[in-house]
Amino acid sequence: MTKLKQQNNDWFIYILRCADNTLYTGIAKDVEKRLEQHNKDDKAGAKYTRARRPVELVYFEVCESRSLAAKRECAIKKLSRLEKLALIG
């Protein structure tokens, strides 16, 4: 993945591929920091990813606000696995 370039108010929607080949979708202001938390931090990392490490970033989108990011996250979470894989490319 390329280095993420962030504007001050940007939020990211991201998809992680876990060690067990499942997909995890989330939002964050700083995706690189969040990825590190998912992989190393037992308190800040999501419970789901803690048991499925290591995780890798396979997709992200930029949104202008937290609200838009949360709505897009919800839409992505409703997709089937095949639809998510097609989105990832």
Domains of the chain in sequence order: 11-88 (3.40.1440.10)
How many residues would you count in the chain? 89
Averaged confidence pLDDT in the chain? 92
Q: Which residues of 43-65 are buried (b: 16+ CB within 10 A; e: fewer)?
A: eebbeebeebeebebbbbbebee
pLDDT at 7: 63
pLDDT digits (tens, 9 = 90+) for 11-54: 999 999 999 999 999 999 999 999 999 999 888 889 999 999 99
Residue 64 CB-half CA count within 13 A:
0
